[in-house]
């Protein structure tokens, strides 16, 4: 397993302002999406890549490679109440996060054609609402961008929650075009070393190159009819 941090901190602005307010500090368009992400409050991006070369004491025909890209950013709704409108910031921040995180998945795993499964996640710091985490991943402004870049059609499965620094999260994935393919149901475990701080969010994009090693439990296309009838007669 390899973990690669990418720091987006830049000098010259002093204390970090709320992410959307920082856009007013610049007269020119950013040079690239990484710079735009920084302007929107992203302080770091970490990529974790893992190759599973054996399972159950045997080696599959081909290793399974999984990766996740994690952005840590200032919570754009820090200090607001539960009636605050989340849409303006979500529409501005989520597409940029989807772009920079999915770019890193493509760098880690190869072209979109090599990626078969995907998922997403978010963790909000203890001063934020769970809805803040949802606002950055559960709208088309994140999911549609990631799905298009990875050439998928399935709804993205997800995990979200609240935590302090050194959070751990298990992000689920399934097939990018056939969500009911059980062979591709899998997870990737992540530890978010110094994040999220109380007023931060972590947003995660994850993907893999194939099914679980030695997958063999079938799927809905091969299942017979199963109802509660199978429980009858099993007890007195």
CA 61 to chain centre: 28
CA 142 to chain centre: 10
Looking at residue 234, its pLDDT comes to 97
Looking at residue 14, its pLDDT comes to 35
Task: Say if residue 196 is preceded by a cis peptide, omega within 30 of 0.
Answer: yes
Does 15 have pLDDT greater than 60? no
What is the arithmetic mean of pLDDT over 116-143?
98
Which residue, chain included where needed, has tokens 């493509």?
106
Look over the chain and give the mean of its residue pLDDT values, rounded to a whole number.
92
Looking at residue 142, its pLDDT comes to 98
Looking at residue 13, its pLDDT comes to 35
* pLDDT tens readout for residues 134-174: 999 999 999 999 999 999 999 999 999 999 999 899 999 99
Q: Maximum CA pair distance of the chain?
A: 77
Looking at residue 221, its pLDDT comes to 80
* pLDDT tens readout for residues 80-93: 999 999 999 999 99
Which of 71, 70, 63 lies closest to 48, judged by CA?
70
Separation between Cα atoms, residue 80 and residue 110, nearest integer Å: 40
**8 A C-beta contact, residue 78 and residue 199:** yes
Q: Helix, strand or coil for residue 11?
A: coil
Q: Which one is the CATH code of 2-9+27-231: 3.30.70.120, 3.30.1330.110, 3.40.190.10, 3.40.50.10320?
A: 3.30.1330.110
List CB contacts of 30: < 8 A, sequence separation 6 or more: 36, 39
Q: Helix, strand or coil for residue 22?
A: helix
For the whole model, what pTM was predicted?
A: 0.90
End-to-end alpha carbon distance in the chain: 51
Question: Which tops the pLDDT comparison, 215 or 26?
Answer: 215
Looking at residue 20, its pLDDT comes to 65
Looking at residue 233, its pLDDT comes to 95
Looking at residue 22, its pLDDT comes to 64
Does 18 have pLDDT greater than 60? no
């Amino acid at each position: 397993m390899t973990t690669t941090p990418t720091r987006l901190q830049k000098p010259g602005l002093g204390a970090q302002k709320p992410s959307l307010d920082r856009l007013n500090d610049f007269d020119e368009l950013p040079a690239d999406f990484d710079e735009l992400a920084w302007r929107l409050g992203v302080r770091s991006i970490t990529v974790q890549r893992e190759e599973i070369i054996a399972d159950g004491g045997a080696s599959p025909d081909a290793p399974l490679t999984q990766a996740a890209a994690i952005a840590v950013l200032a919570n754009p709704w820090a200090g607001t109440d539960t009636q605050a409108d989340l849409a303006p910031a979500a529409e501005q921040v989520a597409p940029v996060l989807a772009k920079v995180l999915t770019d890193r998945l493509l760098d880690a795993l190869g072209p979109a054609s090599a990626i078969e499964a995907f998922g997403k996640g978010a963790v909000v710091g203890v001063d934020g609402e769970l809805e803040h985490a949802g606002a950055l991943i559960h709208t088309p402004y994140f999911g549609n961008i990631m799905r298009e870049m990875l050439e998928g059609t399935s709804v993205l499965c997800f995990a979200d929650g609240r935590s302090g620094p050194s959070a751990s999260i298990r992000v689920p994935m399934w097939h990018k075009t056939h969500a009911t393919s059980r062979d591709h149901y899998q997870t990737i475990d992540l530890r978010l070393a110094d994040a999220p701080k109380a007023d931060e969010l972590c947003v995660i994009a994850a993907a893999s190159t194939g099914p679980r090693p030695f997958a063999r439990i079938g799927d809905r296309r091969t299942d017979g009819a199963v109802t509660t009838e199978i429980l009858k007669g099993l007890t007195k």
